[in-house]
């Protein structure tokens, strides 16, 4: 009975999250770009969100990283049910030796309307975007 209640509750709250779709990295010379598409499924405005993007090679080794405010950098935030995009640009001192790169994005801080901090483990859900 408890497991049934848990499944029902998690099903009801699945949309109440900041959904983030991560595109595969694109590289040109010494720069890699990772596109994030974010949709606010929360009931409150997201004033700002900070994330780190790790760029991994085909062996799983980190070849670059950057940390940025992905929401709130333009001071408007992200209203409920609104969608926004952000491009992480990661530079390297030398050209990337492989084009088979993967991106791992981790949110470290999500600030809701009124300055309330959200639990990023529960408030953010990530899905990879399949390359065409």
CATH code: domain of residue 22? 2.60.40.1620
| Structural domain span for residue 61 | 16-128
How many domains, the chain?
1
Domain membership of residue 65 (yes or no) is: yes
Q: Burial level of 33, CB count in 10 A (0-12/13-18/19+)?
A: middle
pLDDT tens digits, residue range 46-103? 999 999 999 998 899 999 999 999 999 777 899 999 999 999 999 988 888 887 899 9
Domain membership of residue 35 (yes or no) is: yes
Per DSSP, the three-state class of 93 is coil
Domain membership of residue 72 (yes or no) is: yes
Domain membership of residue 42 (yes or no) is: yes
pLDDT tens digits, residue range 3-12? 333 333 334 3
Per DSSP, the three-state class of 94 is coil
């Amino acid at each position: 009975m408890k497991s049934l209640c848990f499944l029902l509750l998690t099903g009801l709250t699945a949309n109440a999250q900041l959904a983030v779709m991560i595109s595969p990295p694109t590289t040109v010379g010494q720069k890699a770009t990772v596109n994030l598409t974010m949709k606010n499924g929360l009931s409150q405005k997201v004033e700002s969100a900070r994330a780190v993007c790790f760029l991994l090679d085909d062996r799983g080794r980190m070849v670059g990283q950057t940390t940025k405010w992905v929401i709130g950098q333009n001071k408007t935030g992200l209203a409920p049910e609104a969608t926004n995009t952000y491009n992480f640009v990661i530079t390297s001192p030398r050209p990337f030796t492989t084009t088979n790169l993967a991106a791992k994005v981790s949110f470290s801080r999500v600030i809701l309307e009124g300055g309330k901090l959200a639990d990023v483990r529960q408030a953010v859900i990530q899905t990879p975007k399949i390359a065409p």
